[in-house]
Structure 1
């Protein structure tokens, strides 16, 4: 309720300052939609589909990205670097799978069959988990 009042006051001040230019900015129209749906959802709970209107209130965070250019640049940089990061992770996973298969073949055999009998390389899933532990320096103690 308090945030809705704060957003309403901000919206009214914004309309008073910008006048008719207020409606030419898409972020201002988004603000108007969010505040209107918040007021409608506060006024009545008996309206069918009110939960969908309440969902729109969660998008208030998006207002920050339209207001601040630095955050917008950060979000654009993160989103443009997501695909190269995913590609690098796929390559790392492929290399880990290759070494896990080699570990199962070399170290996973029982001692009676001439192997080391290491249970960390008994199955592929265990070997892949061991490779993950080695790559992240986890579980060395």
Structure 2
């Protein structure tokens, strides 16, 4: 609710209270309205309370609609900036001197000015609470590095031709980090990302288990296939060049081949059929291996990500609910104090 609406409600509430008092006490109340002072006393004035005093008393943020439009504008600028970075890489020289990329440098300065203005505006809006949000800290670091690179390192590197300073222009790629800030504007997408991040610990253990399975099976296939020159030596000629040493010659090669089977990329015609045509019983090994890894561990990874995404969504909903309850309690407490002072 906007602050002016609060002012209208409070003014109407005070007028109704004052009308009741006049009706009950007659001349004890005069027609002049009363203004609440900061010390809790009252004095006479023509207005009940102005919107500036009310904003200070309620400690409410700026207009929600204005803030929303500002965020939409910054999100659009971030999208345009990312597109411009891609166009400059394709059409220009991303690491050239200023003279060779003067137009791109001018556009870069425009974006940097806008993002600097955004950072300053948010600092003024949030005050000392600005850096309590880690994403605000990330934005500040990106903007600061952009200022250092664009307004200091680029001119110095251009004048002195230091190759070291020229290589530092890769800092410009850090502007892509603002995409993270943009992704937070899309709730569903952000929940997926946070679910993936929260799954990293569990995914690490799953990957370790997969690595152990690949290592053990790699040793087995190296002995069974890679070192069986008697069986596969002649098959290389008859098959038209399928080399068992290329796929299972060492443990590392066997692990890489087995990982290809896990991803089901050309696993049947490219690998398994050649092995099974010489050793039919190996079909049992490959079936069990695919069931354990592709159908087991890989689906376990998907399940972990989905579970953490749902947990993140529940946590986010609880956090929003608690914030709304705290804000509602704070506003109601302020309104209660104002009504009590108005009734005095």
Q: 1:77 to 1:110 in 2, by over 3 A?
A: same
Equivalent residue for 1:41, pick from 153, 170, 174: 153
Q: RMSD value over aligned CA atoms?
A: 3.7
Q: TM-score, normalised by structure 1?
A: 0.62
Q: 1:110 to 1:78 in 2, by over 3 A?
A: same
The within-5 A match list for 1:56-135 is: 56-66=171-181, 68-69=183-184, 70=187, 73-107=191-225, 108-111=227-230, 116-117=231-232, 119=244, 120-135=247-262
More moved, 93-102 vs 126-135: 126-135
Q: Which residue of 2 aligns with 1:137?
A: 264
Give the aligned length. 136
Contact map agreement 1:66 1:72 (CA 8 A) in 2: no
Counterpart CA distance in 1 for 2:171 and 2:254 is 46
Equivalent residue for 1:21, pick from 125, 133, 155: 125
Counterpart CA distance in 1 for 2:259 and 2:250 is 14
SS of the equivalent of 1:137 reads coil
Counterpart CA distance in 2 for 1:19 and 1:90 is 44
Counterpart CA distance in 2 for 1:110 and 1:13 is 68
Counterpart CA distance in 1 for 2:195 and 2:254 is 36
Q: 1:9 to 1:101 in 2, by over 3 A?
A: closer
Structure 1 outlier segments of 4+, above 6 Å: none
Q: TM-score, normalised by structure 2?
A: 0.31
Deviation at residue 73 of structure 1 after TM alignment = 4.7
Deviation at residue 99 of structure 1 after TM alignment = 2.0
Q: 1:21 to 1:31 in 2, by over 3 A?
A: farther
Contact map agreement 1:109 1:122 (CA 8 A) in 2: no
Q: Which residue of 1 aligns with 2:98?
A: none
Deviation at residue 94 of structure 1 after TM alignment = 1.5
Counterpart CA distance in 1 for 2:147 and 2:202 is 40
SS of the equivalent of 2:220 reads helix
| Greater C-alpha radius of gyration | 2
